[in-house]
Amino acid sequence: MPVKKKSKWVGFDLGGTKMLAAVMDDKFKKKASVKKRTRNSDDGPSDILERIIATIEEVIDGAGLKASDISGLGIGVPGPVDHKKGIVMDTPNLGWKNVPLKRTLEKKFGFPVRVANDVDAGTYGEYIGGAGKKADCLIGAFPGTGLGGGCVVNGKIFQGARFTCMEIGHFPMMPQAPVWGKRQFATLETLTSRLCVSKEAAVEVFRGRAPALDKIAGSDFRRYKSGALAEAAKKDEVIEEIVHDAAAWLGVGLAGFVNVFAPDVIVLGGGMVEAMPKQFRDVVEKTMKRQVMEVYRDSFEVRVAELGDDAAVIGAAGLIMEQEQDDV
C-alpha cells in the first residue's frame, strides 16, 4: 500500500494500568494525544478492547480527522505477539489470550494495523528519536513491574519467525534463587523488577530496618512505586543495597546478551530507571564491563532512555510506517 504524502499515523501504547494514544505526522510531531486508564476495577478482557477502540476514536477526533484520513496504526501491547497475524498471545495482567487485535481493529477502522510487543515498540521509539539514535545494534531493557527487552538491528526490530521475542525478563538465572510461580528456576525478572525490589523492601520495613520507606509508604509493598523506592534509597541503606543488587543482576543478564548480540548501544528505561537514572546506569554498566567477554568490554555504551511514556507510542507509529513503506 503506497504511503500517502503528509500522512497521519496513530501510535498506541497499551499498558497494564494506562493507555496512551497519539496522532502524529511523518516526522512524529503530535497532532493530538489521549491518556486513559486501561480499565476500571470491574472491566474484563472485552471491556478493555472496547476502551481501546473508544480511545482511538477520541484521539482521531481530537486531531480533527476521520478514520479515512489515517494511514495506519501501530499498537504496542504487553506480552508475546504473533506478529504475522497480529494476535496477542498471552497477556495475563489484562486477561487476554489469543486475541486477534489486528483483525478486530482493521475491521473496525479500515486502515492497516501493526501489533507489536510494547517493549519492542519502546525500544524502536528510542532508536527513532531517543537515546538509541544512530545505533547499529540496539538493545533496550525496561525494568518496571516486570522486565521487558527489545532489539533493533540495522534499523529493523528483531523478531522471531512468527512471534515477538527478546523476552529477557524470562531468561533463566540462578537455580538456587527463590522461584516465583511455576518456573523451575529464577529468572532475570525475578531478580531485577520493581516487584522483586518491593517484596524485599517490605521485609526490611517489617524488620524495622527501613524507617524512611515505612514513613513514605508503610509496609504494603503494593504502594512501593518507583519514586517511593528512589526516595527511600537516599536515606535507608538497606533499600539502597536492594536497588543496587537489582541493578547489578540486570547488568549480569545484559552482559550475556552483549556476548550474543554484540550491540553498540544498550538503552535502559522503565519506571525504576526513570526514578534512579544515574544509579541504575552506573551499576549496570560497571557490572556489564566486568562480566562480558574481554573483546566486547569497550564496544558498547549504556544510556538512559530519553522519551519516557512517548517511547512506545512513537515506536509503534514508526513500526506501522516502516511496514507500509516496505509494502510500497
pLDDT in tens, 257-277: 999 999 999 999 999 999 999
SS3 of 273, please? helix
- Helical (H) or strand (E) element with 114: strand 113-117
pLDDT at 112 over 60: yes
Instruction: Kindly report, residue by residue over 139-180, the tens digit of the pLDDT.
Output: 999 998 889 999 999 999 999 999 999 999 999 887 555 555
Mean pLDDT of 25-47: 91
316, 280: one domain: no
- Does residue 167 form part of some domain? yes
314, 229: one domain: no
- Does residue 150 form part of some domain? yes
- Does residue 300 form part of some domain? yes
Q: What is the CATH number of the domain that holds 108?
A: 3.30.420.40
160, 87: one domain: no
- Does residue 110 form part of some domain? yes
140, 158: one domain: yes
pLDDT at 1 over 50: no
Q: Quick one: pLDDT band at residue 41, thresholds 50, 70, 90? A: confident
Tell me which residue range forms the domain holding 221: 134-304
22, 157: one domain: no
- Does residue 57 form part of some domain? yes
- Does residue 224 form part of some domain? yes
26, 165: one domain: no
162, 114: one domain: no
pLDDT of the residue at 93: 82
Q: How many domains does the chain have?
A: 2
d(CA 132, CA 92): 30
Length of the chain: 328
Q: Is the pTM of this model over 0.95?
A: no
200, 53: one domain: no
- Does residue 35 form part of some domain? yes
176, 70: one domain: no
| CB < 8 Å & 24+ apart, contacts of 225-234 | 225/194, 225/271, 226/144, 226/194, 226/271, 226/272, 226/274, 226/275, 226/276, 227/275, 229/194, 229/197, 229/198, 229/201, 229/272, 229/275, 229/276, 230/275, 230/276, 232/201, 233/276, 233/279
Q: Quick one: pLDDT band at residue 2, thresholds 50, 70, 90? A: very low
160, 102: one domain: no
pLDDT of the residue at 77: 97
